[in-house]
Structure 1
Amino acid sequence: MTNRCPWAGADPQMQAYHDTEWGVPERDGRALWEKLQLDGFQAGLSWATILRKRDAFRELFAGFDPEKVARFGDADVERLLGDARIIRSRSKIEATIGNARAYLAMREAGEDFADFCWGFVGGTPIKGDGVHVPAKTPLSEDASKQLRARGFKFVGPVIVYAWMQACGLVDDHLACCFRRDAE
């Protein structure tokens, strides 16, 4: 039997996500942005719900290409609100469009999103203690403030910490988990 972090449960899709994605350092700016948007959609819901809908999100949000999403208008918002394959929250949809514009504004100002994100941790993943998994930290509070200052929405400290874990900025695999220290 494989020892995993308990949150992966018995769901094969959640286990595969845990085993191959969660906590793996992501260095691609577009992929980091996509994961931040998905964590924003998760607010108030379970990650399993988002994971089951991820392919539909990718399809409907143009592969999470910030240049394409930034051009979405009112008709796109209505189209997305009408598609039951995703989370139909106007505020989250509009935040994603606005976040694409914020991402592009950073790029136009010469600020690389991946470098910005990895700057929070000095370029190297932070190791959790292997016992406690906080919902937020002073680091995620600071990152949240910096993202908001650049125009991002749905980036509160709890969402940002979940994103940091998912993208491998923070390694919070438990000491008993086979993925601890894997990267």
Structure 2
Amino acid sequence: MPPDTSPMTEAQQRCRWATSDPLLAAYHDAEWGVPEFDARALWEKLMLDGFQAGLAWITILRKRDAFRAAFAGFDPEQVARFGEADVDRLLGDAGIVRSRAKIEATIRNARAFLVMGDGGEDFSAFAWEAVGGKPLLGDGTGPTSRSDAADRLSAALKRRGFSFVGPVIVHAWMQATGLVNDHELGCFRR
């Protein structure tokens, strides 16, 4: 049965982390933890979680449209062709997080994504296989920052040429894309 993505009612509650800002609440209610199966969308969300490292998620969420514009809609084929002029352009874009390491990792990761596809390995199937084809269920106490599954998936991504995909980043991505259901016990989305 697909997850309930309808807005919450007055009697419902959401995860505590999503109550401080209306943008976070909307993201929580409609996106966070919803199982994602589209390979390109999974890749985009992994790249955004990489940009979030060391920052608050709300920062990335507020800049998401600018990121999409700057990175050609997160089309891996286009991003894989980015060169030094594109890196310089992105470093000058105040609408995104201007980290050379994160920008270069995104370009490298686009190339790794394409290599996987060229080798017959679908990124979505790869991600979902890591959790046995269905979301792992957290303990309901709220989002955790790391898991054994994220450790394994991070290592598998690195073996395939990805960078900026450590276990904490990968776990956050797994939560965001519904590979892990870490909604709190009382949350209407659990």
**112, 129, 149: which one aligns with 2:159:** 149
How far apart are residue 128 of structure 1 and its match?
1.0
Matched, 1:105 2:115: yes
How far apart are residue 54 of structure 1 and its match?
0.1
Superposed CA offset, 1:121-143 (max 9, x none)? 11111111112532101110000
Structure 2 residue aligned with 1:50? 60
SS of 2:73's equivalent? helix
Tell me, in whole angstroms, the C-alpha distance in 2 between the residues paired with 1:126 and 1:40.
Answer: 21
Structure 1 alignment gaps of length 5 or more: none
Tell me, in whole angstroms, the C-alpha distance in 1 between the residues paired with 2:142 and 2:26.
Answer: 22
Tell me, in whole angstroms, the C-alpha distance in 2 between the residues paired with 1:134 and 1:122.
Answer: 20
Matched, 1:178 2:181: no
Residues 10-159 of structure 1: matches in 2 within 5 Å?
Answer: 10-159=20-169
Runs (4+) off by over 2 Å? none
TM-score if structure 1 supplies the norm length?
A: 0.97
Letter matched to residue 37 of structure 2? R
Tell me, in whole angstroms, the C-alpha distance in 2 between the residues paired with 1:59 and 1:133.
Answer: 29
Tell me, in whole angstroms, the C-alpha distance in 2 between the residues paired with 1:97 and 1:175.
Answer: 38
How many equivalent residue pairs? 180
Tell me, in whole angstroms, the C-alpha distance in 2 between the residues paired with 1:153 and 1:101.
Answer: 11
Tell me, in whole angstroms, the C-alpha distance in 2 between the residues paired with 1:156 and 1:3.
Answer: 31
Tell me, in whole angstroms, the C-alpha distance in 2 between the residues paired with 1:133 and 1:54.
Answer: 22
Tell me, in whole angstroms, the C-alpha distance in 2 between the residues paired with 1:6 and 1:17.
Answer: 13
How far apart are residue 9 of structure 1 and its match?
2.1
Tell me, in whole angstroms, the C-alpha distance in 2 between the residues paired with 1:119 and 1:83.
Answer: 36
Letter matched to residue 83 of structure 2? G
Superposed CA offset, 1:69-109 (max 9, x none)? 00000000000000100000000000000000000000011
Structure 2 residue aligned with 1:160? 170
Contact (CA 8 Å) 2:15, 2:142: kept in 1 or not? no
Query: Share of identical aligned residues, percent?
Result: 66
Superposed CA offset, 1:107-162 (max 9, x none)? 01110000000011111111111125321011100000000000101100000000
Letter matched to residue 107 of structure 1? G
